[in-house]
Structure 1
Amino acid sequence: MYKDKQESEMLDKSIKFDINNYKDIWDKINELSFLIEVDELFVPKCFIDVNSKVCSCLEYSKENFIDVIPSDVFIFDKKGTVLELYRNLIYKRCDKVEMILKSKYGKYVYVEANIFLFIQNKKKHILIIAIDVTKNKKIEKNIVGIIKGIPDVIKVYNPDYTIAFFNEAGYNFYNKTPKEVNGKMCYEVLSREEKCIDCSFEEVMETKQMITIEKYIPELNKFMDVCYNPVLDDDGEILYIVERLRDVTEKRILHKMLKENEDRYKQVINSMPDAVVIIVDNIIVLGNIEACNLLDLSYEKLRGINVYKLFQEKYIKSLHKRFRNIILNEKVKDISEYEFILSNKKVAILQISHSYISYKGKPSIIGVLRDITDIRKELNKAAEFQRKTLQLDFPARKFINIETVYIPSNTVSGDFYRIYEINEELIIGIIVDVRGKGISAALNISAFDVLFLQEIALTHEPMNIVKNLNKKLVNYYDENYIAVCCFSMNFNKNELKVVGAGVNQFIFQKKDGKVEEKIAEGIFLGMFENSEYCEQIISFEHGDKIIFFTDGLDFILDEDKIIQKYMEQISIHEFKNYIDEFLNDTILEVGILQDDCTMIAMEIK
């Protein structure tokens, strides 16, 4: 019946137990006590008796409990079968296990139990004496769940200073397994024979308050930021002490290095002729003397100020996006201009070049500020002159309606357009995009306008005009190439001729038809003396639309075709308003256009 003779002999030597004597103290103890009869194969048969603590805990009356099947109450939280656990008692006589008890109404109670095997009246019995640890178990499981994915080292201690468990980062940090550390004293993990001199356990036990310290662990050669946090039960008693360790060795070394280099940072930026500030998390952490003078602030007021407080409200939204883009893309030389009202009510125009840097190990922005108020005044004069020379009145009004868009990316534009009337039935126009921006581009525009006027005095063919201009620009413009699209419209023949040189795309739409992208191939003017160009010849009629534009408006031909579909349903006047609104919103959001934007839209009457 038993495995072997040895097993039978050991069972015969089991403890002889007088159940009646034991009942004298059965209901006086605070533990949960069960007496179970098992058969010859150690299969639990029935409950012989339980104490009143069991009935109270599991919500049974004593009379009903005797009829309950043991397997409905006991859930062993241990590998292996219940049978094997009972049979092992033949060798051990008693064992300590963790179990889960199931109450009458399905509630689970976690217990730590001592189990004994004994014989009474030639029958085998199992005695179980258990302690309810449900509250501790739930707290432990919650702690385990919380700390599982925390990258810091987390160690959980029992009130007697023994280790309950670590999180995964803790076992990895000490290069230990749970079996090697659980149940040991904390100092034993470091192969010490006594506790650390600066141990804070006693203080935590006494005050029941969280304590944070920084200490050096010589065995690991590391500086650690350590936090001890007691976990209390409902009665205010300590259940566990949770210790959090964070390796701050690198931070400590870096802090020392940065502290030594702080004066060097100041020396570098103070040696720069322009105003310079360093921004970390939107706070100015460093600025030179020139920045203080330019912004009319003392160093104490400049350092530590939120950078947005220096700007007008209208710039905040675009500035926030700009800073985020610089940090995410590690962008350098992001240049923009802002109007500042300084403390003395003086209005200044500042050009600021923002660039990504790493300051004290953090992603940061360095800003170089220049006062361009006087330069801006001169540019504004040039821009005003340019706007006054811009064509506003157009010929051939009885044949076509014309709408234009002209928005520089900066104060002065490198774009230009002009339409001349040759006679009542013929006009010649050109849209121009000069390489570069600012004053030099504006001067090139003025010179080019003179050259264009000279050519149309000699020929009325767009192809000849473009070729002749190309030859002249090879000699005069060096690398300042010019992109143009030249066109003529003959209202007697209802014929459009288009020649492209750098500005190669244009749009043609038949009345009530789809928008078509047209291309007149040809490279920039001034690149090669014998450049070849192509000409598009298109017949037009009432209701047709033609749109010429520079590359700042290339989004009109985006792949999603949304704008093109929109164009099909509206007039050129409505489309002009749409483009104006789109560009103004872009300026408001981003702060500046990437390129000059110019468009000529015509609709045949």
Structure 2
Amino acid sequence: MKLERVLKGISDIIGVYNPDNTVLFYNEAGYDFFKKSYEEVKGKKCYEMLNRNQNCPNCLCEKAIETKQITQGEKYIPEINKYMEYRYNPVLDDSGKVIFVVEQLRDVTEKKSFENILKESEERYRQIVDISPDAIIITVGGEIVLANKEALKYQKNLIGKSAYKYSPDFAKTMNKKMKQILKNKTKKTTFDYKAVFSDDTKIDIEVSSSYLLYKGKPAILSIIRDITERKRELNSAAKIQKELLKKPFPLVNKAHMESLYIPAKTVSGDFFYTHKVNEDLIIGIIGDVSGKGITAALNISAFNVLFNEEVLINNDPSKIVHSLNKKVAKYIGERYIAVCCFSFDFRKNESKIVGAGINQFIYQNNKGNTENRIVRGPFLGMFEDSEFDEKIIHFKSGDKFYFFTDGLDFIFDNEEIKEEYFKTITITELKNNIKSSLKSMLTDVEGIKDDCTLLALEIK
């Protein structure tokens, strides 16, 4: 009776049997489960509770009596349409003889159904994943736990391996990005890596990664594409772009120029050119072509031709911008181009700046006072009869000018950040500080959202 009271509050089904399988009693959960009273079960065999007339196949109770050890298992009971978890504990007297057996039953039907659903879902999911033309892997804690057929073409034994192993040059960057994806539960972010496989094959890959739960654990699903050929073409275009932007300031005895050029991807849509008209006058332009990649590179090349043609006949930024506005609409179609065109006349000590889509620049006088200047005007090619603002600044030795594309707006539109950067003494230091910040951002999940280009000039 004391034992029955102890077992009464236990939610699992507890039954106590004689060694001949005769029921001594159940706890309250047992009577409720079998829908029987104490009088109805007393003296009955345990298998009779299920309306059977003989021991259950592979009876674990019999095994517990025979081995005198705890036995446990799980089985489906068709009579009640449930999955049950079994545990039998034989109780021995001082001589080592089994005097009764304690049975513990737990209904695991819901858990089992959920496991079956997960298993079916995973099988269906794997079928979908396996027909993907792209390689797909899932990583948990940096370890590959799932790989589709396309991924296994690169490396047969991927499961259980560290994802970092196949991109050793980028291991630290990958680790940092994976931690950020898991922390922020990022849904989609894309990066380029160089992968190395067991046969020393090296390829450029584009990896699009997203956070998900895999078997209840935080995981990362990555879709991997071989972009080796595309990367080769983009690298060639990027190399040409960088060579074009390496040219020094045309009048080195008049001003010092620093430039910063960091694409969000391999090829940028940003550009700048400076053209020497004579020993006292230069014309320059900084711009951003809509679009990315090869298309942007081609449009930049086309615009470069238009600009170089224009500066041969025009020395005034306002006239240049008006003329280019009409030509862009005619030759480059629906692509808009944002520019800021400027001239520096060192005979008059006069600068003219015209805005068309790039509508601000920064002027810092030789005393260190900094001003944001606005030059309003729409993108080139947007409207045929557009009007563009012009600012005229009479400069002195030590004055500084900063022209930049919208990728750097997050710095120059933030007064606190801008003030910190402009504490630097030289334009070289300012450029290097911004460059260092942007380089560290390239390894973050968010990355650099747009191409970043800066043109800084200091009057000598």
| TM-score where L is the length of structure 1 | 0.59
CA-to-aligned-CA distance 1:459-492 (integer Å, 9 cap, x gap): 2221221121111111222222111111112223
Aligned twin of 2:135: 275
Aligned twin of 1:594: 449
Q: Against the structure 1 CA distance between its residues 537 and 283, is the aligned structure 2 distance closer, same or farther, given a 3 Å change threshold? A: same
Aligned twin of 1:575: 430
Rounded Cα–Cα distance in structure 2 between residues aligned with 1:454 and 1:467? 14
1:315 touches 1:591 (CA, 8 Å); kept in 2? no
Structure 1 residue 364: Cα displacement:
4.3
Q: Quick check: 531-540 or 546-555, which moved more?
A: 531-540
Rounded Cα–Cα distance in structure 1 between residues aligned with 2:282 and 2:169? 48
Q: Does 1:314 align with 2:158?
A: no
Structure 1 residue 509: Cα displacement:
1.4
1:515 touches 1:565 (CA, 8 Å); kept in 2? no
3-state DSSP of counterpart to 1:162: helix
Structure 1 residue 188: Cα displacement:
6.2
Aligned twin of 2:148: 288
Aligned twin of 1:256: 116
Question: Across the two proteins, how many residue pairs are aligned to each other?
Answer: 410
Structure 1 residue 502: Cα displacement:
1.7
2:249 touches 2:256 (CA, 8 Å); kept in 1? no
Aligned twin of 1:325: 181
Q: Against the structure 1 CA distance between its residues 160 and 596, is the aligned structure 2 distance closer, same or farther, given a 3 Å change threshold? A: same
Structure 1 residue 161: Cα displacement:
4.9
Aligned twin of 1:378: 233
Rounded Cα–Cα distance in structure 2 between residues aligned with 1:224 and 1:512? 84
Q: Does 1:162 align with 2:6?
A: yes
Q: Does 1:548 align with 2:403?
A: yes
Structure 1 residue 493: Cα displacement:
2.7
2:193 touches 2:205 (CA, 8 Å); kept in 1? yes
Rounded Cα–Cα distance in structure 2 between residues aligned with 1:528 and 1:246? 76
3-state DSSP of counterpart to 1:411: coil
The gaps in structure 2 that reach 5 residues or longer are 12-26, 48-58, 89-103
One-letter identity of the residue aligned with 1:285: V
Aligned twin of 2:291: 436
One-letter identity of the residue aligned with 2:144: I
Comparing both chains, which one has the higher relative contact order based on Cα–Cα distances under 8 Å and sequence gaps of 6 or more? 2
Structure 1 residue 347: Cα displacement:
1.7
Structure 1 residue 419: Cα displacement:
1.1
Rounded Cα–Cα distance in structure 2 between residues aligned with 1:519 and 1:603? 20
CA-to-aligned-CA distance 1:301-354 (integer Å, 9 cap, x gap): 22233333333153334444346427744513x222111121111221111222
One-letter identity of the residue aligned with 1:368: I
1:318 touches 1:589 (CA, 8 Å); kept in 2? no
Q: Does 1:420 align with 2:275?
A: yes
Aligned match of 2:250 in 391, 395, 412? 395
Q: Against the structure 1 CA distance between its residues 330 and 575, is the aligned structure 2 distance closer, same or farther, given a 3 Å change threshold? A: closer
1:514 touches 1:568 (CA, 8 Å); kept in 2? no
Rounded Cα–Cα distance in structure 2 between residues aligned with 1:595 and 1:361? 36
Structure 1 residue 246: Cα displacement:
9.8
Q: Against the structure 1 CA distance between its residues 250 and 521, is the aligned structure 2 distance closer, same or farther, given a 3 Å change threshold? A: farther
Q: 1:165-564 residue pairs with structure 2 within 5 A?
A: 185=28, 187=30, 193-194=37-38, 250-293=110-153, 295=154, 297-298=155-156, 301-312=157-168, 314-322=170-178, 324-325=180-181, 328-332=184-188, 334-356=189-211, 359=214, 364-559=219-414, 561-564=416-419
Structure 1 residue 256: Cα displacement:
0.9
Rounded Cα–Cα distance in structure 1 between residues aligned with 2:110 and 2:391? 68
One-letter identity of the residue aligned with 1:599: L
| Structure index of larger Rg | 1
Q: 1:48-67 residue pairs with structure 2 within 5 A?
A: none
1:161 touches 1:185 (CA, 8 Å); kept in 2? no
Structure 1 residue 247: Cα displacement:
8.7
Identity over aligned residues, as a percent? 44
Rounded Cα–Cα distance in structure 2 between residues aligned with 1:449 and 1:583? 27
Structure 1 residue 448: Cα displacement:
0.6
Q: Against the structure 1 CA distance between its residues 309 and 557, is the aligned structure 2 distance closer, same or farther, given a 3 Å change threshold? A: same
CA-to-aligned-CA distance 1:429-477 (integer Å, 9 cap, x gap): 1011111222111111111111011112222221221121111111222
Structure 1 residue 584: Cα displacement:
2.0
1:286 touches 1:303 (CA, 8 Å); kept in 2? yes
3-state DSSP of counterpart to 2:423: helix
Q: Against the structure 1 CA distance between its residues 224 and 402, is the aligned structure 2 distance closer, same or farther, given a 3 Å change threshold? A: farther
Q: What value does the CA root-mean-square deviation take over the aligned residues? A: 3.8
Structure 1 residue 213: Cα displacement:
7.0
One-letter identity of the residue aligned with 1:162: V
Q: Against the structure 1 CA distance between its residues 260 and 588, is the aligned structure 2 distance closer, same or farther, given a 3 Å change threshold? A: closer
Q: Quick check: 441-450 or 347-356, which moved more?
A: 347-356
One-letter identity of the residue aligned with 2:6: T
Structure 1 residue 422: Cα displacement:
1.6
Rounded Cα–Cα distance in structure 1 between residues aligned with 2:84 and 2:287? 66
3-state DSSP of counterpart to 1:568: coil
Q: 1:4-19 residue pairs with structure 2 within 5 A?
A: none
The gaps in structure 1 that reach 5 residues or longer are 1-157, 171-183, 229-243
1:416 touches 1:431 (CA, 8 Å); kept in 2? yes
Structure 1 residue 600: Cα displacement:
0.6
Rounded Cα–Cα distance in structure 2 between residues aligned with 1:245 and 1:575? 73
Structure 1 residue 189: Cα displacement:
7.1
Rounded Cα–Cα distance in structure 1 between residues aligned with 2:342 and 2:389? 12
3-state DSSP of counterpart to 2:367: coil
Structure 1 residue 426: Cα displacement:
1.8
Rounded Cα–Cα distance in structure 1 between residues aligned with 2:383 and 2:190? 33
| TM-score where L is the length of structure 2 | 0.76
One-letter identity of the residue aligned with 1:276: I
Structure 1 residue 536: Cα displacement:
2.0
3-state DSSP of counterpart to 1:382: helix
